[in-house]
Amino acid sequence: MLNNVHFYATVFDEFEDIDSCIHFAGLKAVGESVAKPLDYYDCNVCGTTHLLQKLANRNIKNFVFSSSATVYGEPEMLPLTEEARLTATNPYGRTKLFIEEILRDLHASDPSWNILILRYFNPIGAHPSGKIGEDPQGIPNNLMPFVAQVCVGRREKLSVFGDDYDTKDGTGVRDYIHVVDLAKGHVSAVNKLNMDKVGCEAVNLGTGNGVSVLELVNGMGEATGKPVPYEIAPRRPGDVAEVFADPSLAKRLLGWEASLGIKEMCEDTWRWQSTNPMGYKEVSIEEE
């Protein structure tokens, strides 16, 4: 597990009036989790239990956890509500699911814990200033940063994995949410915990709209003013055809709903990537 002893000591010594914790930390690549499951269980699950113990020692019991729509596995019905069956299909998703169970057990043992579990769908985009964006190391694991690197010339073309799904254009459909909307969802969650007792509640953060891979690619083409080169490749094992959220609980419970669409997601991504073509650190492509 990552050595967090110094971090905890520094934070708790420097800040004495902490009332809430948002837990973002963890490893997050599905493919890497399959290759390195022990690293994922150690960092994500053990890291969370250690954090919870430290918070309990300080009586800090308002807790927001960054979970994921991967806990739903392959959807049995759409849109996905928070009551859908939970069945993660990879180590990354299982770490999120296990942590959710830990949090439910924790609240059952001590109802003074006040917990919101936020199940992200597919966060993309960047800060509209162009100064903060996604800068994955090596080959991107997710669609949008790969598309952005193709657009800026760092990669030759995009591989679209499968065009024969039973969807609007044959490509996979996902619920993409702008990172700014996602950030606002966390602010709403903390505000809710500071106002009310919610127990231990899971909430979807998504738009409720399914967008296909090709629709996203075309959106980036409009943002950049030129088409995005791509090729159709075979389906990847484990990919599902379509996933999108029912976000109505977030609106009822948190007073939150997504306000930004694919146009803003693509434009803000391109503003970041075009301003920072090699990411935060200027390196040559050969060094990647």
* Residue 41 known to be catalytic: no
- Which single residue is written with the structure tokens 């700014």? 180
Catalytic residue among 40, 41, 72, 92: 92
The angle, 0 to 180 degrees and rounded to 10, between the axes of the packed helices 91-109 and 47-57 is: 20
Residue 164 CB: number of other CB atoms within 10 A?
A: 11
Distance between CA 148 and CA 228 in Å, rounded? Answer: 9
Distance between CA 224 and CA 85 in Å, rounded? Answer: 40
- Residue 80 pairs with which residues in a beta bridge? 245
Longest dimension (CA), the chain: 56
76 CA to centre of own chain: 21
Contacts for 137 with CB less than 8 Å, ≥ 6 apart: none
CB 27 within 8 A of CB 43: yes
Query: Residues with catalytic annotation?
Result: 92
